[in-house]
């Protein structure tokens, strides 16, 4: 099961797409899967993932679509509050055992740094965090 998710996933497509764009004529790669079973780690090479030229084109179009969507949402921040533009995808945490679950599910206070993380010097998020925590749908009205 883990092999199928890895072989069919976008990460493999991204690597092969990037190599193709850089002039390497590679259409497949060997998959390495690291299983974590309790206290035991098990590494396996279960197979090869292959991408056709058409699949790489579809992957590239998907990347452009994502970039356009994020750009459009970013430009909309002046008019719409970000809890509406960038909602949390809560089911992803349970499906993929998200390592950031403690952050997005916690009530992080302004100036607080979650254990195990550090604050980037360039990131000034205190005002944004405070605004998001105060946000309610009652505060927002549609501007016509």
Report the Cα–Cα distance between both ends of the chain, in Å, rounded.
Answer: 50
3-class DSSP state for residue 30?
Answer: strand
Per the model's pLDDT, the better-predicted residue between 44 and 122 turns out to be 44
3-class DSSP state for residue 110?
Answer: coil
**pLDDT tens-digit series, residues 22-57:** 999 888 988 888 877 778 888 888 788 899 999 999
Residue 123 has pLDDT above 50, yes or no: yes
What is the rounded average pLDDT of the residues 12-24? 91
Q: pTM (2 decimals)?
A: 0.52
What is the rounded average pLDDT of the residues 111-116? 74
Per the model's pLDDT, the better-predicted residue between 57 and 111 turns out to be 57
Those residues whose C-beta lies under 8 Å from the C-beta of residue 139, and which sit 6 or more positions away, are 81
Looking at the DSSP bridge assignments, the partners of residue 35 are 42
Tokens at 9, concatenated? 């996933």
**pLDDT tens-digit series, residues 53-110:** 999 999 999 988 888 888 887 777 777 766 666 666 666 666 656 666 666 666 777 7
By C-alpha distance, which of 61, 47, 44 is closest to 10? 61
Looking at the DSSP bridge assignments, the partners of residue 29 are 49
Q: pLDDT confidence of 16, banded at 50, 70, 90? A: very high
């Amino acid at each position: 099961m883990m092999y199928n998710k890895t072989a069919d996933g976008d990460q493999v497509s991204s690597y092969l797409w990037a190599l193709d764009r850089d002039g390497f004529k590679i259409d497949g790669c060997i998959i390495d899967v690291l299983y974590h079973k309790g206290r035991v780690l098990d590494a396996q090479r279960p197979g090869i993932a292959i991408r056709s030229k058409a699949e790489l084109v579809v992957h590239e179009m998907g990347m452009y679509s994502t970039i356009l969507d994020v750009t459009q949402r970013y430009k909309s921040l002046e008019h719409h509050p970000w809890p509406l533009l960038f909602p949390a995808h809560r089911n992803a945490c349970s499906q993929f055992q998200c390592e950031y679950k403690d952050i997005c599910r916690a009530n992080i206070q302004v100036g607080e740094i979650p254990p195990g993380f550090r604050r980037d010097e360039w990131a000034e998020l205190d005002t944004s965090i405070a605004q998001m925590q105060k946000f309610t749908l009652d505060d927002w009205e549609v501007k016509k």
